[in-house]
Amino acid sequence: MRNWLGDSVVAGVLAAALLLAATHGAAQAPVYRAPRTPDGKPSLNGIWQALNTADWDLQGHAASKGPVPSLGAVFAVPPGLSVVEGGEIPYLPAAAAKKKQNQANWTTLDPEAKCYLPGVPRATYLPYPFQIVQSPQTILMSYEYAGAVRVVNMGAPTKAPADSWMGWSNGRWEGDTLVVDVTSQLDSTWFDRAGSFHSDALHVVERYTPRSADTLTYEATIEDPKVFSRPWKISMPLYRRVEKDAKLLEYKCVEFAEELLYGSLRKKSSN
């Protein structure tokens, strides 16, 4: 005789198992797997750009009046959410005071106004595109702003002979993530227009992870015991410039910063 109780128990267990499997599967969305370069690495090739206000201020901020009244709403400070994990940058007390001073005088102090090279990570989230050109031994990142560029060494790590504006980059792969270790940056760069700064002890570790066909997740861990009480991290998406024939154009801003830098040395016209 057919055991209907047993069958239904089996059916119930089977149903429960299927339901469990279904919910478990749905909770774990498949991780995006980027197309490979011809040498088998995840491809980060392309023109990318951040779409946020990180360059204005890494920390969350409301909109505020701009520094040039005659430009009104064209050049006021737009609002933005923090890109810093945890919200705030953990300054040491003396450094926090300096940051405030920087922010109050940013129009004269910000190296961006002078068209100085931005350093890392600021180069990534300036409001201009940059391009990644990937070869097996070398990954080159060319930034539209000021023609900034850096070469990421993908071979055995090497050491910098001296400090530089864009630092010294050694890279490696961790699964589908490009990890770039950046050392030896000069202390002359800022992180944003709000006066966030660092010392020559700065150490940055970046992570570039493809998250979809046209987006990357960009993370950077910042460590500087002379300025911050602990390491801290920023995170943001980077968007591919998908338009046909997208291209970096020249933003050789030296020309635009000269009056600011050398205007006082101009010959005074004789009256």
Partner 1 sequence: MRTTLIAVVAAAGLVLAAVPVRAHHAFAAEFDQNKPIKVQGSVTKWELTNPHSWIYIDVKGETGNTVTWMIEGASPNNLYRLGLTKESLPAGSVITVEGYQAKDGSTRAVGRNIVFANGKKFFLGLTEAEGAPKEGTAPQ
Partner 2 sequence: MGRRFLASTAALAAVVLIALLSQAPAAGQAPSSAAKATTAGKAWTPPRTPDGKPELQGIWSDNTLTPFERPKNLGAKEFYTDQEVVELAKRVREGRPGEEIEGAQLGAANPQAVRYDLELYGFDRTKLRYTSNRTSLIVGPEGVVPPMLPQARERNAARAAKNKGHEFDSHEQRPLSERCLLMGQEAIPMTPGANEGNLLQIVQGPGYVTLLHEIDHNTRVIPTDGRPHLPQNIRLWQGDSVGHWEGNTLVVDTTNFTNLTAFRGSSENLHLVERFTRAADDTMIYQFTVEDPATWAKPWTAEVPWTKTKGPVYEYACHEGNTMISTILRGARVAEEEAAKKGK
Q: In the numeric block, which tokens belong to residue 191?
A: 């992180």
Q: How far is the CB of 162 from partner 1 (least distance, A)?
A: 4
Cβ atoms within 10 Å, residue 152: 22
How many residues does this entry show for the chain? 271
Query: Which residue among 133, 157, 212, 229 contacts partner 2 (CB under 8 A)?
Result: 133
Query: Which residue among 66, 90, 147, 231 contacts partner 2 (CB under 8 A)?
Result: 147
Residue with tokens 């980059």: 169
User: How far apart are alpha carbons 39 and 173 in whole angstroms?
Assistant: 13
Q: Which of partner 1, partner 2, none binds 62 (CB below 5-8 Å, type-dependent)?
A: none
Given phi > 0 = left and psi -120 to 50 = alpha, else beta, which region is 91?
beta
**3-state class percentages of the chain: helix first, strand second, coil last, to nearest 5:** 25, 30, 50
Q: Would you say 92 or 248 has its CB closer to partner 2?
A: 248
Site residues (CB under 8 A) for partner 1, limited to 148-187: 158-163
Q: Which of partner 2, partner 1, none binds 243 (CB below 5-8 Å, type-dependent)?
A: none
Measured at the alpha carbon of residue 35, what is the angle toward residues 31 and 39, in degrees to the nearest 5?
A: 125
The set of residues, in sequence order, having a beta carbon less than 8 Å from that of 42 and lying 6+ positions away, is 33, 34, 35, 36, 173, 176, 178, 210
Residue 134 interacting with partner 2 (CB under 8 A): yes
Residue 131 interacting with partner 2 (CB under 8 A): yes
User: How far apart are alpha carbons 152 and 207 in whole angstroms?
Assistant: 13
Measured at the alpha carbon of residue 149, what is the angle toward residues 144 and 33, in degrees to the nearest 5?
A: 85
Q: Do residues 84 and 61 touch, judged by C-beta distance below 8 A?
A: no
Q: Which of partner 1, partner 2, none binds 100 (CB below 5-8 Å, type-dependent)?
A: none
Q: With contacts defined by CB under 8 A, name the span among 37-45, 63-71, 89-97, 171-179 that binds partner 2.
A: 37-45
Q: What is the DSSP letter of 77?
A: B
x-marked contacts with partner 1 along 112-151 as a string, rule CB under 8 A: ----------------------------------------
Site residues (CB under 8 A) for partner 2, limited to 82-121: 115-117
Q: Which of partner 1, partner 2, none binds 199 (CB below 5-8 Å, type-dependent)?
A: none
* Residues at the contact surface with partner 2, assessed by CB under 8 A: 37-39, 43, 45, 115-117, 131-138, 140, 142, 146-149, 151, 153, 158, 161, 164-166, 188, 245, 247-250, 252, 254-255, 258, 261-263, 265-267
* Residues at the contact surface with partner 1, assessed by CB under 8 A: 158-163
